[in-house]
Amino acid sequence: MFAERKTRVLIVDDSAIVRKILSESLAPEPDIEVVGTAPDPYVARDKILSLRPDVLTLDIEMPRMDGLTFLKKLMHFHAMPVVVISSLAQASCRVALEALEWGAVEVLAKPGGPYSVGELRQTLAAKIRAAAAAHPRRPPAESASQAPERTISSAAHSPQAVLAIGASTGGTEAIAAVLARMPACAPGILIAQHIPPEFSRAFAARLNDHCAMQVKEAADGDKLRPGLALVAPGDLHMVLRRAAAGYFVNVKTGPRVCYQRPSVDVLFQSVAEAAGVHAVGVLLTGMGADGAQGLLKMRQSGARTIAQNEATCVVFGMPREAIKLGAAEEVLSLDAVAAAALAPRRGPAMS
């Protein structure tokens, strides 16, 4: 029998130390091979042509040509899966998220800070595998934030209505596409996106700049209300609670679920318990199975449930697992999700 082909990785970073750390972190992985490294985009360009890697890791701040400029050229002429590796400085976070708009499929914090070497090994390998499974798409002439979708007109919803959204690989742009269609009066929204600490704050700020709704990174005790979307902070779980005064969220640490924190399963299960028939659950693109069990719990509680279809997913992992469980009432293209989430229920809930 032939051995399974390894995922070939090219590491692009101006720091020799970072190149060494990343290479050593991937060395023990039996299904991943680092085929080369490059200190800048000009060297990377030649090595992409000669080595034909499956996945590129890309630093943002580099001499001669910055990573974002290189990414735009790469996705135009030679689209391929790219994992952006960036510092946690707010300016770098914003540029890394812009890189996701331009076709990168994953973002990861640079070694150091909150990331131990051991955690980096597990996280980097998972990001590489997710990127290798992704379907990279050339970005449109204008990014989503430059040309937002027209919002959907919506009748007033009950203050008890809640929309919960979960995503992973490819999710930042998928979530942006859904929220760009939401009117300012939309029901309160809770978002669990697999994203590193600090990047979640920049992600929420970017959504807030381009959506009719108010969007913010969730803080413990925040009250959920119509017109507000709360993004789970990176490396923390977010759960919905119900009190006499309405809904609020708890933001907390805890064990990873499906290797993730924040976990979509944790969010969805809490929404099933707190909101039940008043909730809508939406599971978007992502690698793995996080969110599938939670979406099933939501459907069993009487909530409406939606999964993104394969054709529009960057990675059809999480939605596929939910569909296999019978957790999704509807399987829709990304451009149909927002309208369906706001539409009145058709037919009875799952018994």
Catalytic residues: 168, 194, 290
Helix H or strand E segment including 226: none
Distance CA 76, CA 10 (A): 19
CB atoms near residue 155 (< 10 Å): 8
Distance CA 55, CA 58 (A): 10
How far does Cα 281 stand from its chain's mean position?
16
| Residue in this structure with the two tokens 């994953």, named with its chain if needed | 106
**Integer angstrom CA distances of residue 39 from 47, 266, 285:** 11, 40, 32
Phi, psi angles (nearest 5°) of residue 337: -65, -50
Helix and strand element counts for the chain (H, E):
11, 15
Distance CA 9, CA 264 (A): 29
Distance CA 177, CA 183 (A): 13
Distance CA 169, CA 49 (A): 26
111-133: string of b/e by CB count within 10 Å (b at 16+)?
beeebeeeebbebbbbbbbbbbb
Closest alpha carbon to 6 in 51, 38, 42: 51
Distance CA 256, CA 238 (A): 12
| Residue in this structure with the two tokens 């709704």, named with its chain if needed | 213
Distance CA 62, CA 295 (A): 42
Give the three-class secondary structure for 183: coil
Distance CA 33, CA 48 (A): 14
| Radius of gyration from C-alpha coordinates of the chain | 20
